[in-house]
Amino acid sequence: MIVLKFLYTRLQSRILTWLFWVLVWLALGLVFANLFDSLSQEAQETEKLITNLPAALRGTFNIDTGYLTQVEKFLSGQFLTVYTLIGTIFALIQGVYEIGGKVEDRTISNYLTKNISRTELYLSQFFANLVFFVTSSGVVWGLVYGFFRIFSDQSEISIEYFLATFLMTSALFVTTAGAGQLLGILFPKNIAQLGGIGVLVFSWFLNSLSSIGGFPEWLKPFSPFYYLNVLKLRDEFAVDWSRFGVLMSVYVACLVVGILVFRKKDLYL
């Protein structure tokens, strides 16, 4: 009961951040919906230019045939690419600050004196991120779907695609936030955030380069973006359940290890 009350308090304190985050992506989604409508009117000429682009460049931005005539392919190459990169960085920062930031600025004592154990505190902060990113992703993908229904002249837009992208991006974000929370109690806040962001950006480029022929297969799983499996989302409008399972396994592992470490950590209160 204490955990639920504290979780509710944490969610209340983040409502403005949640609104800002959602509104930014809704504005961008509206821009992309109008852009698609404009570009699709000249799709035939533009498609010729796209097919002449290097394969590595097309792979980096998930560009395929039908890019300007099919909403799902356009979103995969544009909106989804930006959303996942910035979203994981934001999730990492949020995760690091949940505990690590409070330890560093000594405000953690304000929470631990409220009749809540370290385990309960860690759990509540952990699940606050879960609720934050699942609900925000649901609203974003739901309204982006609405934007494209309104502004594009496509008669068939797959709802399955939007459901699958919602599920996979949510899994990627909450896992990144969970990893960030763990990093925040293992390392100083600045090192955890800057180091984590560096790894994410590098792994994004790593995943993008994997479209080049001859790229070592064994390197691909080292990028968290690999587990999104954009090709399956783009071409089959489906979730890759095996990769989803990997993300959730990492999520649970971060929770368990984080609690064990946090319970024994000297906080210098």
pTM of the predicted model as reported, rounded to 2 decimal places: 0.88
Q: How far apart are alpha carbons 191 and 27 in whole angstroms?
A: 32
Q: How far apart are alpha carbons 216 and 209 in whole angstroms?
A: 10
Contact 218, 69 (CB under 8 A): no
Of 65-74, 242-251, 254-263, the least confident: 65-74
| Enclosing H/E stretch for 239 | none
Q: From residue 95, how far is each of 51, 156, 182, 192, 237 by CA, in Å?
A: 40, 38, 8, 10, 29
Average pLDDT, the chain: 84
Kindly report, residue by residue over 186-244, the tens digit of the pLDDT.
Answer: 998 899 999 999 999 999 888 877 766 666 788 888 899 999 998 899 889 999 999 99
| Mean pLDDT within 33-62 | 61
Q: What local confidence, expressed as pLDDT, does residue 96 receive?
A: 93
Kindly report, residue by residue over 237-257, the tens digit of the pLDDT.
Answer: 999 999 999 999 999 999 999
The residues spanned by each domain of the chain are 2-264
Contact 34, 151 (CB under 8 A): yes
Q: Which of the four pLDDT bands, split at 50, 70 and 90, describes residue 7?
A: low
**Crossing angle for the helix pair 79-96 and 15-40, to the nearest 10 degrees:** 170
